[in-house]
Amino acid sequence: MITYESVGHRYDDRTVLDDVTLALPEHRVGLVGANGSGKSTLARMVNGLVRPTSGRVLVDGLDPTEQGAAVRRRVGFVFTNPDSQIVMPTAGEDVAFSLRRTVRNRADRAARAAEVLAAHGLEGYADHPAHQLSGGQKQLLALCGMLALDPDVLVCDEPTTLLDLRNTRRFAEILRGLRQQVLVVTHDLDLLADFDRVVVLDGGKVVADDAPAPAIRHYRDLVA
Amino acid sequence: MNPLGLYAPGTSPLHRTPAGPKLLGLMVFVTVVVILGTVPWLAGACGVAALGYLVARPPWTRVWQVLRLLIVLAVLVGGLQLWLVGLEPALVTVLRLVAALAAANLFTLTTRIDAVVAAVEHGLGPLRRFGVRPEQLGLLVGLTVQAVGTLAAIAGSVREAAVARGAGRSPTAFAVPFVVRTLRHADELGEALAARGIGDTANDADGDSGDTGDTGDTDGPADHRAPGAAR
């Protein structure tokens, strides 16, 4: 459960978020809005990457500002660009890197990493140079790096922006099968069609909060 | 993409040697090469490095990549030295460079970065009591190796963009976007590492289990403290 309690955020005199209050218990929640509407900032607050300048955020009762480490163990985060999320040279090593704290033995860690890769469509890629994977495979690898930690919540900031249609569908398919609560920031409105709830932001405020169809309709009207 | 090559999977004795002793061996080898000052000894050192390649049997394309780089380097450095200080010092410098770089590359080819990181962490473990954090240094080693490939990729795409705009020869058309993209990459990498819990200290992780309750309303708004500062 993610809750925002009158959360505000400003950089100098520019207001990014203005008094946002939301309780998100749903399994799959989408955040949409124009560039600069504050949706990425809202998502980054879930694991303490950005701190509210007023109000507070709670993830399962924990405040990311106060208990960052505990929150980050519960929250996985997938960014837009997989190139900056992959920190190790091979796919297997990168997933194993996530497991450094939890799996002490190196051989066990490599085996576990290979399992996670296999479970998400990257079977046999453990020894493959990570930066020679296709864009879609890289994003799957970034996702594997997060899922290896078995978080309770997965936040994705425009995860399919750099992917082609096939890989976007594949990514959506994997998201659909996750036990994790998923919070997705996206411009890809199709991705949200079967979500439980979609929140529309505009100018740092929530302007619609509904089932996907009416929420997306509102967003389209906003642009028109 | 990466001029220094990266791990090439294999089962040779060199692949199976644990990373720690291998890294130590490499350090000793390079030290010896720096101390040795005569052509025959240095030629012998090059021979040892070459023997290493025969044992490890990395893919030929990877060996050729390195060889090409070494030849260019040898010709440039050797030519300059030959002109400045004469034949023998030139040979010494070139052989020294070739032996050290060939050995270092052999290490990269036969060792997973993951294993290097673990070996560095393990090796620096005893320094923990002096406030050194081995995990962070291990990660630093891994990221440094990675950075070579990343910067090469950024440089490649920036050069392409400059050429596409007809500014292939302009230094600023290269330097400005290169620096901007590198800095942006650094920002994104930092965020991604933070999201993966890097930089959350072990103390933090232990301390958190005790106070998972509601923090209460006494913490006012405009709270801008660093994570963990509450304790």
Residue with tokens 């590359």: B105
Q: Are residues B101 and B185 in the same domain?
A: no
Q: Does the beta-carbon distance from A65 to B227 stay under 8 Å?
A: yes
Q: Please give the C-alpha separations between residue B36 and each of B29, B93, B102, in angstroms, as whole numbers.
A: 10, 11, 16
Mean pLDDT of B1-20: 73
Q: Is the torsion defined by CA of B156, B161, B162, B164 positive or negative?
A: positive
pLDDT confidence of residue B12: 86
**Do B162 and B81 lie in a common domain?**
no
Residue keyed to tokens 């910067």: B151
Q: Which residues of chain A have pLDDT under 70?
A: none
Give the per-residue pLDDT at B4.
43
The per-residue pLDDT for B214 is 37
Q: How far is A190 from chain B (nearest CA, A)?
A: 26
Q: Would you say residue B87 lies in a domain?
A: yes
Residue B126 lies in a domain: no
User: What ipTM, to 2 d.p.?
Assistant: 0.82
pLDDT of residue B220: 35
Domain that holds residue B173: 132-199
Among candidate residues B111, B142, B166, the one where a domain is terminated: B111
Q: What is the mean pLDDT of residues B68-86?
A: 90
The pLDDT of residue B231 is above 90: no
Question: CA–CA distance from A169 to each of A62, A155, A166, B166, B202 (Å)?
Answer: 33, 18, 5, 38, 38
Domain contains B163: yes
Beta-carbon separation of A73 and B197 below 8 A: yes
Q: Mark which of B62, B80, B111 sits at the end of a domain.
A: B111
Same domain for B87 and B44? yes
Question: Where a domain ends, among B45, B79, B111?
Answer: B111
Query: What integer pLDDT is reported at residue B17 of this predicted model?
Result: 87
The whole-number pLDDT of residue B201 equals 62
The dihedral region occupied by A18, where left means phi > 0, alpha psi between -120 and 50, and beta the remainder, is: beta
Q: Which of B208, B211, B218 to mutate to test the interface with A (most CBs of A within 10 A)?
A: B208
Query: What pLDDT digit, counting tens, does each position of A141-190 carry?
Result: 999 999 998 999 999 999 999 888 999 999 999 999 999 999 999 999 99
Give me the pLDDT at residue B221, please: 37
In a domain, B218, yes or no: no
Is position B174 within any domain? yes
Q: In total, how many domains does chain B have?
A: 2
B107 shares its domain with B136: no
- Facing B195 at nearest CB: one of A53, A65, A77: A77
Residues B77, B166 within the same domain? no
**Whether B223 and A84 lie within 8 Å, measured CB to CB:** no
Q: Based on the number of CB atoms within 10 Å of its own CB, is A109 exposed (0-12), middle (13-18) or buried (19 or more)?
A: buried
- Residue B64 domain flag: yes
Asked whether residue B137 falls in the same domain as residue B171, the answer is yes
Are B48 and B96 found together in one domain? yes
Does residue B119 lie in a domain region?
Answer: no
Q: Is residue B123 part of a domain?
A: no
- Measured between beta carbons, the chain A residues lying within 8 angstroms of B7 are 89-90, 127
Predicted confidence (pLDDT) per residue in B169-224, tens digit:
778 888 888 999 999 999 999 999 888 888 776 544 433 333 333 333 333 333 34
Tell whether B101 and B161 lie within a shared domain.
no
Q: From chain B, pick out residues whose CB is under 8 angstroms from the CB of A132.
A: 1
Q: Are residues B98 and B36 both part of a single domain?
A: yes
Q: Which residues of B touch A90 (CB under 8 A)?
A: 6-7, 112-113
CATH of region A2-85+153-223? 3.40.50.300
| pLDDT over 50 at B37, yes or no | yes
